[in-house]
Structure 1
Amino acid sequence: MSEKKIFTDSGIEIKKIYHASDVPLHVPDEPDAGHFPFTRGVQEDMYRGKTWTMRQYAGFSTAEASNQRYRYLLSQGVMGLSVAFDLPTQIGYDSDHALAEGEVGKVGVAIDSIMDMHALFDGINLETVSTSMTINATGFILLGLYVAMAKEQGANLSKLSGTIQNDILKEYAARGTFIYPPKASMRIITDVFEWCSNEVPKWNTISISGYHIREAGSTAVQELAFTLSNGKAYVQAALEKGLDINTLGKRLSFFFNAHNNLFEEVAKFRAARRMWAQIMQSMGATDPRAMMLRFHSQTGGSTLTAQQPMNNISRVTVQSLAAVLGGTQSLHTNGFDEALSLPTEDAARIALRTQQVIAFESGVADTIDPLAGSYFVEALTNEVEQQAWDLIAKIDAMGGSVSALEEGFIQEEIARSAFAYQRQIETGDKIVVGVNRFKIEGKEDIPVFKVDDSIRQVQIQKLAELRKQRDPAQVDRVLQELNDKAAGGENLMPTVIEAIEKKCTLGEIADELRGVFGEHHQG
């Protein structure tokens, strides 16, 4: 009887045992961490000098409620804030818009204006905290709100640190919270690159995201290939705008998923650094720091199960280990209850404690790239890399990520992988503990976090107060100026910030640009 073959989730066959002959491409004296091509890490001392930044992605209900959660997380040892926004905020509608009904504050915090920003960061010094904002189509507006708030605090803008996700290409591929057509969106993103390089030099202007591509059903190899292809598209757009690749490259960051197949995930992260260094070098970068792939990671939301949800603590632990062993710079751990609801405070604390136990008790942070030299890990790193290069070559042949998205290639590849994975679960070829094996009878009593629909009325009242306070003539003037600059090709960021300071709302700014750029509708 022939021996059963075993594959990773990306379809890479796993051999029974690995030997030195399985890694002919592996160079024994691979450069140390902090040196091109950064396979072993982007910092020379990695976690021996400083642990990764421990973040907890949070945001719900009103800005006031989210502020309380941020203060709690900071008191429990979180090193940086990570803000989730509700769906209307993500797609450029104020809370009083008809399309916002039923969605205000549900999957993140509702932010309509500078008033909400005041409440969100009340008592938090923006000059001293690193803030990551998961926002894309309206990322430039949220950055404007953050900068306007920092200016009111008297902060030195050159000291502001943080990240806006600002990765619109993956929205067309996997997630769907886009507003404008791809080319207009790319123009806005390069405006952010240009403005930040001069005004907010420490800010990471984009977090090129594979996370949502993976959540939509891609494999690890596809996540890597599609993310790096998107990164190439952003860099090319910036170069066409005349930006310096060595300056831009230092402000790019990435956002990857960490799933359950520990060794494949570690291989993915190691291959990602090596590949991006080569991509940036080929595009003209000469400064090694501009070739570094720095990344935030988050444990896999789509891997969490509503059945036996306490099992998710184990899944998150394995995924966190994969991210740390793979050399992440920043990590968010999901709450065990997130297949049921937004995380409760208890679940968020357990998720944070998982990171802290790994950092301070497990010993995995004591040496750099601890799995390097494993015949298996090195062979798998090479195989993941080669398969990702093959996919990137297909995308390049189509003219790059924007063209591949317009043709539907990336979307179809993700859909095919998602279908194949679901079929494996249904047939039992893929075991998911508590779902298709090791089930229990009855339902576990797990407290869930709920957001009341009444908060929409709170937001509507705040919007009414804002409109009473402001000067309508100034609002009309600045919105017309925004319209003119959008049509004329000038950088939008200075006018966006002025509009915010004149108390224009997020929805008003997004709508003004809808009038110029139009809206994108997925075919």
Structure 2
Amino acid sequence: ARRIWAVAMKEKYGANERSQKLKYHVQTSGRSLHAQEMDFNDIRTTLQALIAIYDNCNSLHTNAYDEAVTTPTEDSVRRALAIQLIINREWGLAMNENPLQGSYIIDELTDLVEEAVLQEFERISERGGVLGAMETGYQRGRIQDESMLYEQRKHDGTLPIIGVNTFRNPHADTAEPGAVELARATEEEKAAQLRRVRGYRDGHQDDAHAALAALKAAATSDANVFGVLMDAARVCTLQQITDAFFEVGGQYRRNV
């Protein structure tokens, strides 16, 4: 990702040196979380977090093991956080700036992934760029194809998933299912959140009016929307911003 970003920013957009330096956030894979043998999810997340830290990601989110079935509980979030803490404080190799440097397999995989991504960029460009490809449903189709392939391989066993389609618990059918704590907001918490949103909106009425007007003007011209969007986010709710975009741009509809 850093290599692709640096080359594109320099050669396509003529960006300065600072702009060529990619900062990125990593979140461990949600697709690898499974309801079967949920405790195994922490093992998968640990390995994913280790690779992210080895690559010096700028920030990292580790998924909680129970996110396959519910909003994370306080205990599961603490376990997810412990994964990062143990890697950072106990795992000595994480103190090295680039422990995988010079690894043949890492360099080879990096080259292969970079080539595949650039080829995908070319396919999108051939279809008229991101918006042009969206009109034919290209991106959506690619995601659906990949999802179908993943599910097919999971079910036929060509993609082994421990505890799900291979090395399954022999006592799973007879064991009593463990109680899973489901995190749900109470009616009082929902009402309190609504009161906070209404209070925020009422307290910024005048500033919001000006910010939304600037946002609409930028969206209908060649101005940089991001700057005025940041200003609007300080005094407007997400609903107000969304309504403003709908008002001047309408709702997107694919022409297929």
Equivalent position of 1:348 in the other structure: 77
One-letter code of the match for 2:246?
R
CA distance in 2, matches of 1:400, 1:420: 25
Task: With the length of structure 2 as denominator, give the TM-score of the two structures.
Answer: 0.82
**Is the counterpart of residue 514 in structure 1 residue 246 in structure 2?**
yes
Alpha carbons 1:317, 1:354 under 8 Å: kept: yes
Q: Is the 8 A contact 2:216 2:245 kept in 1?
A: no
Deviates more, 1:373-382 or 1:504-513: 504-513
Hey, what's the Cα distance between the residues in 1 that align with 2:232 and 2:114? Answer: 45
Q: What's the secondary structure of 1:343's corresponding residue?
A: coil
**Structure 2 partner of 1:485:** 217
Confirm whether residue 451 of structure 1 aligns to residue 185 of structure 2.
yes
Pairwise CA distance, 1:398: 2.1
CA distance in 2 between counterparts of 1:471 and 1:396 reads 42
Tell me the distance in 2 between the aligned counterparts of 1:483 and 1:319. Answer: 39
Deviation at 1:445, TM superposition (A): 2.8
- Residue 82 of structure 1 corresponds to none
Higher relative contact order (CA 8 A, sep 6+): 1
Post-superposition shift, 1:366? Answer: 3.0
Distance 2:149 2:103 in 1: 30
1:365 aligned partner: 94
SS in 2 for 1:414: helix
Distance verdict in 2 for CA 1:301–1:453, change over 3 Å: farther
Q: Is residue 293 from structure 1 mapped to residue 22 from structure 2 by the alignment?
A: yes
Please say if 1:392 is aligned against 2:124. no
Q: Per the alignment, do residues 517 and 364 of structure 1 end up closer, same or farther by CA in structure 2, a change over 3 Å counting?
A: same
Q: Distance in 1 between matches of 2:43 and 2:81?
A: 13
Counterpart for residue 434 of structure 1: 163
For residue 497 of structure 1, report the CA deviation from its aligned partner. Answer: 4.3
Residue range with higher mean Cα deviation, 359-368 or 300-309: 359-368
- How far is the alpha carbon of 1:520 from its aligned partner? 1.7
Report Cα offsets for 1:39-71 as digits up to 9, x if no partner: xxxxxxxxxxxxxxxxxxxxxxxxxxxxxxxxx
Select which of 39, 61, 66 maps to 1:332. 61
Deviation of 1:478 (Å)? 4.0
1:339–1:498 Cα change, 3 Å: closer
Partner secondary structure for residue 302 of structure 1: coil
5+ residue gaps, structure 1, are 1-271
Q: Tell me, yes or no, if the aligned pair for 1:398 and 1:404 is still in contact at 8 Å.
A: yes
Q: Deviations over 1:465-484 (max 9, x none)?
A: 567x6697x58964884586
Residues 290 and 416 (structure 1), Cα distance of their counterparts in 2 relative to 1, 3 Å cut:
same
In the superposition, relative to structure 1, how do residues 372 and 413 fare at CA in structure 2: closer, same or farther (>3 Å)?
A: same
In the alignment, does 2:33 pair up with 1:307? Answer: no
How far residue 367 of structure 1 moved from its aligned partner, in angstroms, is: 2.5
1:284 Cα shift? Answer: 4.3
Partner of 1:405: 134
Q: Distance in 2 between matches of 1:431 and 1:304?
A: 14
Distance 1:371 1:471, change over 3 A: closer
Instruction: Note if contact 1:478-1:495 (Cα within 8 Å) is conserved in structure 2.
Output: no
More divergent stretch after superposition (381-390 vs 292-301): 381-390
CA RMSD between the two structures? 3.1
**8 Å Cα contact 1:275/1:385 also seen in 2:** yes
Equivalences for residues 192-271 of structure 1 within 5 A: none
TM-score, structure 1 normalization: 0.42
Q: Aligned-pair distance for 1:415? A: 1.1
Q: What residue is the counterpart of 1:283 in the other structure?
A: 12
Cα displacement (A) at 1:510: 2.8
Distance 1:446 1:465, change over 3 A: closer
SS of corresponding position for 1:297? strand
Aligned-pair distance for 1:339? Answer: 0.8
CA distance in 1, matches of 2:20, 2:160: 39
1:484/1:387 CA distance change after superposition, 3 Å: closer
The residue aligned with 1:243 is none
Higher share in strand? 1
Q: Percent identity?
A: 31
Aligned to 1:374: 103
Structure holding more helix per residue? 2
Q: How many residues align?
A: 248
1:420 aligns with 2:134: no
1:505 deviates by: 4.3
C-alpha distance 452-429 of structure 1, shift in aligned 2 (>3 A): same
- The verdict on how the C-alpha distance between 1:433 and 1:407 changes in structure 2, with shifts beyond 3 A counting, is same
